Amino acid sequence: MHFIKNCWYVAAWSHELEPGRLMSRMVAGESLALYRTSDGTAVAFEDSCPHRRAPLSLGRVEGDDLRCMYHGMRFAPNGVCNEMPGSEKIPAKAKVRTIPITERDNWIWVWLGDPNRADLGLIPEGFGSDGQGWKMNFGQIDYAANYELINDNLCDGSHIAFLHENTLGKNMGRRFCDEHPTITRLPRGVRVDRNFIDQRVVAPWVKTPDSRVDVLTTYDFLVPGIFLFRTGFYEPGTAARIEEGKLTAPPYFERVDQQAVTPMSNKESRYYFAAAHKLQPGLPEMLGHIFGLMSRAFEEDRVMIEAQQRNWDRYPDARPIVATPHDEAPLIMRSHIERMLAAENGVLP
Amino acid sequence: MHFIKNCWYVAAWSHELEPGRLMSRMVAGESLALYRTSDGTAVAFEDSCPHRRAPLSLGRVEGDDLRCMYHGMRFAPNGVCNEMPGSEKIPAKAKVRTIPITERDNWIWVWLGDPNRADLGLIPEGFGSDGQGWKMNFGQIDYAANYELINDNLCDGSHIAFLHENTLGKNMGRRFCDEHPTITRLPRGVRVDRNFIDQRVVAPWVKTPDSRVDVLTTYDFLVPGIFLFRTGFYEPGTAARIEEGKLTAPPYFERVDQQAVTPMSNKESRYYFAAAHKLQPGLPEMLGHIFGLMSRAFEEDRVMIEAQQRNWDRYPDARPIVATPHDEAPLIMRSHIERMLAAENGVLP
Amino acid sequence: MHFIKNCWYVAAWSHELEPGRLMSRMVAGESLALYRTSDGTAVAFEDSCPHRRAPLSLGRVEGDDLRCMYHGMRFAPNGVCNEMPGSEKIPAKAKVRTIPITERDNWIWVWLGDPNRADLGLIPEGFGSDGQGWKMNFGQIDYAANYELINDNLCDGSHIAFLHENTLGKNMGRRFCDEHPTITRLPRGVRVDRNFIDQRVVAPWVKTPDSRVDVLTTYDFLVPGIFLFRTGFYEPGTAARIEEGKLTAPPYFERVDQQAVTPMSNKESRYYFAAAHKLQPGLPEMLGHIFGLMSRAFEEDRVMIEAQQRNWDRYPDARPIVATPHDEAPLIMRSHIERMLAAENGVLP
């Protein structure tokens, strides 16, 4: 398994890690035990007791500490063993590896690489939700597929015209493949801007003649697989009037998506997705509808991508693939990951 | 996986491939997408889009073409891409590999090797059924076993005396192992002739004293695993009177079996079987009874052969096995396959 | 798979091998077919017909012989083929490998190594039960784990204080980890003696003030994984009065456990366990209660040990583990197995 080590991976939603409970997570080939100390701070250990490799996630939280429940060794949040039952002396090597961990935007992030390089500034700026102003729903799906196949999918929306023709792409026909977004390479990712001008949208907030609006969308997709998406529905003509990136009027309706693709093993990945929209006076709550549509569409993705993975397994000789103009963003993302992997392994990119 | 490439494999029953629908089949280690064009002609593609290896069997039939439903590439029956959404030019390498395919005797046949050598004359002459004169039933069973173990089974009927003592061998006792058939080597298979003289058969068409008949059977078993079997029930004394292969009277009853063993992977095989008998005035329809008996017997085979496969897996050192006189036909079939594999791989047989 | 061959493994409980029936067992990587001859003597064959590797356990017992039910070869208890259907001559190599087998203490034992070294004196002396005087219950559990991880568990009772805090360790608190047993290395195992002085035990046979008793326990754990355990509940003060190993009064209550850990493959093991107690006039039958408690505790073991196995699989580089004083007995057992393996493979221990 070759994964970038020196980057922040999403290991869980914050709300999944309940006080007093232990959680086991597989992130980029490493098995982690997560818990919260008495003040709520998240801790991540390698999920293996240094005594006899019992999983620490089968242990017990005791105050700030974690006790292995096979033979009773107890570890402080810094990983140091502070009780070894039946032994008066505790050897120095009775220490479990700790993993840098933090929380931001409703996600728990872990850093598997060199702890000295665990720069919090490298965490992508998400949206998050405190339940005020924005309403956010959370979901996750496990894939029997390599995470880069999911990255490819998220970087290239042209598949919406075909794979999601009855869900996400229903009212937009082939605009997703016939029109091309603006692709911008970022230092650790790619930006995709795309305006659907004069698009018919049937929704309670659309009161224009013929239900026409301008739909302005933009997202950043960042290493290792963080997807941050904004959609705004505007008065017709807005897109044409944009000057120097400034909008002339607020949107009728605005929503965001934040998603993370986390490799577990080479062929297993976890996909965290959240959708949110602004709560606006006079507008009904739309999130249940949006989330239901997304869930159906993501199931279409899962079936296709897992089948695609099985084809890659069948043809391990990596015969060349044919690229289309829509592959630009996916290929940028793959080149970032390749470059970072090469750098970590001492190979010139 | 080592399979003969230059031979015709059965990929499906003809009736399985419905107009407008795609079907995925694994044949000798290769994954195929099958469909019919608007005039009903069968097409076989490698089940992998040249764009990003999405399975084409998850696509859609559009007229004569097949569209990949991930990013929308469309392919003509000759494998050439004739639409690449979002792209004005279509690169020449946007082409999916096509596999020679034909239909005969209710089966769909594919040729995985050199298309220039796909000689239709090499397809064994089966029976088939148009529903007139003959009534045919169709079934199939998947085996978790290598196809040659199933070939062995079909080439040597002596196992009927033991494995099928309560089903196919019920009334014939040990004749299946104590009497020996006549074995003839064929250019691509083996012929097995066997007469059960003066055998008691209880059936509506047997009106002889003591229900005695002569049962004359003959089958060809042909590369890669095609089994074509004729059984006739005759007046007692018929077998003794055969002169130069000519029968002196028509049978009381006549039936045929056509079966095909298709390797999917090294340890997965699909077994297609059909049974038919002549519709004769005054005789009740017997096929339900015959087919029920066969299905029970084939389940006995499956249990034994899959267990045998597990023993081969356990002893990969291929310790020599002890042969009996009944192994003559199975060993002829294995020698054909070995010889053809050697020829394909440039090794002298 | 590396297992000791020259030792006796438990292959089954005696009562599992019913007359006239065949049983398949996997022991230390070898697949065996077991049956009883007409006088009840147990026979063990390699579970593979020398003809075409059909499993003999799918065959039929015929008097003293076993018939393979694929093509009908029949074998005498000494493994020699005495009938080959369709063949007048039987080649000398038509012989199945026989495995030394015996029964003792309700167990069936097999010897996979050199038959000339199959010394019955090497079978550990168990307890067994003829249903008179002692009442014994029998159970078994399959583990998805290497047998040495189960051996480790049985050699070190300190885990009872943690893993079994609500079952086996419920009333003894941390005495299991805070107090140390006496460990004695044996020629093919380890002895563990441990007295719980002045322990509160609530049971019908305890009539002392405050329900205090001395609990004296001792067990031998012997290669490859045989666990023989005695527990006696005595008048308080008994442990202190033991002189030269002699007890001054009979126990209030006495019970034994006999268990066997049998590797099937590297990561699959079968755990046979039996518990018994003396039937005493005036005492209720306790075995149902004891057995229920044990079954719950063994399930706690299984969950932990299988999870531990998965961690070993994840870290195949065998990073060093930290040992505690309680690891003395497990490490003695591992050294025995390592020494015997080295001797069998011609390596100096």
Residue B92 belongs to domain with CATH number: 2.102.10.10
- With residue A273 as reference, give the H or E element that holds it: strand A268-278
pLDDT digits (tens, 9 = 90+) for C137-168: 999 999 999 999 999 999 999 999 999 999 99
Mutate to test the interface with A, among B70, B83, B87, B88 (most CBs of A within 10 A): B70
Q: CA A260, CA A107: separation in Å to the nearest integer?
A: 9
A245 backbone φψ class: left, alpha, beta (φ>0; ψ -120 to 50): left
> How near does any CA of chain C get to the CA of A176, in Å?
43
Of C337, C170, B49, the C-alpha closest to A159 is: B49
C311 by DSSP, 3-state: which? helix
Parallel/antiparallel/unpaired status of strands A189-200 and B8-13: unpaired
Residue C198 tokens, joined: 């002045």
One domain for residues B175 and B95: no
CB-based contact C324 A86, cutoff 8 Å: yes
A145 by DSSP, 3-state: which? coil
Final residue before a domain boundary, out of C122, C142, C173: C122
> How near does any CA of chain C get to the CA of B334, in Å?
14
One domain for residues A118 and A140: no
The answer to whether residue B109 is domain-embedded is yes
Could you tell me the sign of the dihedral formed by the alpha carbons of B86, B88, B93, B94, in that order? Answer: positive
Per-residue pLDDT, averaged over A179-206, amounts to 94
Backbone angles phi, psi at B22, to 5 degrees: -100, 150
One domain for residues B155 and B265: yes
Per-residue pLDDT, averaged over C303-315, amounts to 94
pLDDT digits (tens, 9 = 90+) for C174-213: 999 999 999 999 999 999 999 999 999 988 888 888 899 9
One domain for residues A93 and A138: no
Final residue before a domain boundary, out of A76, A101, A122: A122
Could you tell me the sign of the dihedral formed by the alpha carbons of B53, B55, B60, B64, in that order? Answer: positive
Contact A276, A137 (CB under 8 A): yes
Of A236, A142, A255, the C-alpha closest to A195 is: A236
Give the CA diameter of chain C.
Answer: 81
Split into its structural domains, chain B has a count of 2
One domain for residues A204 and A118: no
One domain for residues A224 and A286: yes
Q: CA A275, CA B105: separation in Å to the nearest integer?
A: 56
- pLDDT-derived band at C349, boundaries 50, 70, 90: very low
Which segments within chain C are labelled E, that is strand? 8-13, 23-27, 30-36, 42-46, 60-62, 65-67, 74-75, 81-83, 101-104, 107-111, 134-143, 182-186, 189-200, 212-222, 226-234, 253-265, 268-278
Per-residue pLDDT, averaged over A17-26, amounts to 97
Could you tell me the sign of the dihedral formed by the alpha carbons of B231, B234, B238, B240, in that order? Answer: positive
One domain for residues C329 and C200: yes
Contact A315, B48 (CB under 8 A): yes
Q: CA C36, CA C57: separation in Å to the nearest integer?
A: 12
Q: How far is CA A330 from CA A158, A190, A326, B334, C163, in A?
A: 11, 9, 8, 49, 49
One domain for residues B167 and B316: yes
Judging contacts by C-beta atoms under 8 Å, the chain A residues touching residue B53 are: 308, 311-312, 315, 321
Q: CA A338, CA A190: separation in Å to the nearest integer?
A: 14
- pLDDT-derived band at C116, boundaries 50, 70, 90: very high
Place of tokens 């693709």: A261
Angle between helices A147-155 and A287-314 (to 10 degrees): 130
One domain for residues C178 and C37: no
The answer to whether residue C3 is domain-embedded is no
Contact A110, A32 (CB under 8 A): yes
Q: How far is CA A347 from CA A115, A223, A340, A341, C75, in A?
A: 21, 19, 10, 8, 64
One domain for residues B88 and B168: no
B53 backbone φψ class: left, alpha, beta (φ>0; ψ -120 to 50): left
Comparing CB atoms, the residue among C58, C86, C93 nearest residue B177 is C86
Q: Residue B135 contacts by C-beta under 8 Å, 6 or more apart in sequence?
A: B129, B276, B277, B279, B285, B287
Q: CA A235, CA A238: separation in Å to the nearest integer?
A: 6
Q: CA A223, CA A219: separation in Å to the nearest integer?
A: 13
List subunits contacting chain B, requiring 3 or more Cβ pairs under 8 Å: A, C
CB-based contact A312 B58, cutoff 8 Å: no
| CA C315 to the chain's CA centroid | 28
More confident residue, C328 or C1: C328
One domain for residues B206 and B118: no
* Residues in chain B, pLDDT under 50: 349
Amino acid present at B46: E
Per-residue pLDDT, averaged over C7-20, amounts to 97
In chain A, which residue's Cα lies nearest the Cα of B81? A322
Per-residue pLDDT, averaged over A110-123, amounts to 97
Looking at the predicted structure, is the pLDDT value of residue A86 above 70?
A: yes
> How near does any CA of chain C get to the CA of A48, in Å?
7
Outline where chain A has alpha helix (H).
147-155, 175-178, 238-241, 287-314, 328-344
One domain for residues B170 and B92: no
Q: What is the mean pLDDT of chain A?
A: 93
Q: CA B256, CA B275: separation in Å to the nearest integer?
A: 6
pLDDT (0 to 100) of residue A13: 97
pLDDT (0 to 100) of residue A184: 98
> How near does any CA of chain A get to the CA of B132, in Å?
42
Mutate to test the interface with C, among B178, B315, B324 (most CBs of C within 10 A): B324
Residue B136 tokens, joined: 């045919």
Q: CA C332, CA C228: separation in Å to the nearest integer?
A: 17
Backbone angles phi, psi at B115, to 5 degrees: -60, -30
| CA C31 to the chain's CA centroid | 18
The answer to whether residue C203 is domain-embedded is yes
Per-residue pLDDT, averaged over A277-296, amounts to 85
List subunits contacting chain A, requiring 3 or more Cβ pairs under 8 Å: B, C
Of C63, C64, C70, C19, the C-alpha closest to C47 is: C70
Q: CA B277, CA B285: separation in Å to the nearest integer?
A: 9
In chain C, which residue's Cα lies nearest the Cα of A48? C311
Looking at the predicted structure, is the pLDDT value of residue C82 above 50?
A: yes
Contact C43, C36 (CB under 8 A): yes
Looking at the predicted structure, is the pLDDT value of residue A349 above 70?
A: no
Of B231, B225, B305, the C-alpha closest to B272 is: B225
Q: Which range among A205-214, B121-130, C215-224 has the greatest average pLDDT? A: C215-224
- Rg of chain C taking only CA atoms, in angstroms: 23
pLDDT (0 to 100) of residue C348: 58
The answer to whether residue A129 is domain-embedded is no
The answer to whether residue B222 is domain-embedded is yes
CA dihedral of B163, B167, B169, B173, whole degrees rounded to 10: 90
Query: Which ipTM was obtained for this model?
Result: 0.94
Question: Can you spell out the DSSP letters for B91-126?
Answer: -TT-BPPB--EEEETTEEEEE-S-GGG--GGGS---
Question: Can you spell out the DSSP letters for C67-136?
Answer: E-TTT--EE-TTSBEEE-TT-SS--TT-BPPB--EEEETTEEEEE-S-GGG--GGGS-------SSSEEE
The answer to whether residue C80 is domain-embedded is yes
C237 backbone φψ class: left, alpha, beta (φ>0; ψ -120 to 50): left
| CB contacts < 8 A (B, C) | 77
The answer to whether residue B56 is domain-embedded is yes
The answer to whether residue B95 is domain-embedded is yes
Mutate to test the interface with B, among A162, A172, A303, A304 (most CBs of B within 10 A): A162
> How near does any CA of chain B get to the CA of A233, in Å?
25
The whole domain housing B40 covers: 8-122
A149-163 burial, b at 16+ Cβ within 10 Å, e below that, comes to bbbbbbbbbbbbbbb
Final residue before a domain boundary, out of C122, C146, C168: C122
For the domain that residue B223 is a member of, what is the CATH number? 3.90.380.10
- pLDDT-derived band at A318, boundaries 50, 70, 90: low
CB-based contact A68 C162, cutoff 8 Å: yes
| pTM attached to this predicted model | 0.94
